[in-house]
Copies of this chain bind each other. A is one copy, B any other.
């Protein structure tokens, strides 16, 4: 059993989490640990792991989490924006079957999507920027999913985005989706891994991967907002390429943007 606080104790678990988890101490203790051991430590701290799986190479998180925690303590969710590639939907299904897990696939709010598309059409992000659409299709469903949770696990890495992820820590308080009353922590086990490390893992352990990765895609998001990159391009150049480089976050990790907590 997990040595962590209280999901099974008589005392209310959330308060315990709030008072007992210190991200800085976690970083100090585990910063040099492998992703697997970071996940193990997180599981021991929280007694449960909720993994955000985007349908891309963060599938390694699913693979690793199931190695350090019992299946019923690993919750995996994905955000289906309604605009993903066919290959991504097929990959979700493959992962679900391969690991024999429940995959909690979240969907956007009907009224919000209809209001946006009926007013601005289906490609407003090319004119208005991606934040409005991401807000409706990704951020709101994520907020619903995270509500009340003490911790979530993400696949963020420092090498993904020089502009926004270079100061990423393996554990941090998520002030974007948590609150003072309901603190939320984020575990980023892949912080120090490079893209190459992730792909070495995928190939070494025969982890299933999204077929888009065989078509030149590195970073994968929604179909109209993702494109393959050229050899030598930074993976983030395949995302929202019509916008200024430097601050590319869909809002899931708004914490990485300057003053995110206050905006």
Interface stretch among A32-40, A175-183, A229-237, A255-263?
Answer: A229-237
Question: Is A147's beta carbon under 8 Å from chain B?
Answer: no
Question: Is A53's beta carbon under 8 Å from chain B?
Answer: no
Question: Is A162's beta carbon under 8 Å from chain B?
Answer: no
Interface stretch among A20-28, A166-174, A193-201?
Answer: A193-201
Cα of A213 to Cα of B200 in the assembled complex, Å: 22
- Kindly identify, within residues 196 to 231 of chain A, every residue whose CB is under 8 Å from any CB belonging to chain B: 196, 198-200, 202-203, 209, 213-218, 223-224, 227-228, 230-231
Cα of A117 to Cα of B196 in the assembled complex, Å: 32
> What is the count of identical protomers in the complex?
4
Q: Are A118 and B93 within 8 A (Cβ)? A: no
26 contacts between A and B (CB under 8 A): A57-B231, A80-B117, A80-B122, A82-B82, A83-B89, A85-B86, A86-B224, A89-B224, A92-B122, A93-B121, A103-B118, A104-B114, A105-B122, A107-B108, A107-B110, A107-B113, A107-B114, A110-B110, A195-B231, A202-B230, A209-B230, A213-B230, A214-B228, A214-B230, A216-B217, A218-B231
Return the 6 tightest CB-CB contacts between A and B, nearest first. A216-B216, A199-B232, A82-B82, A105-B117, A196-B232, A107-B113
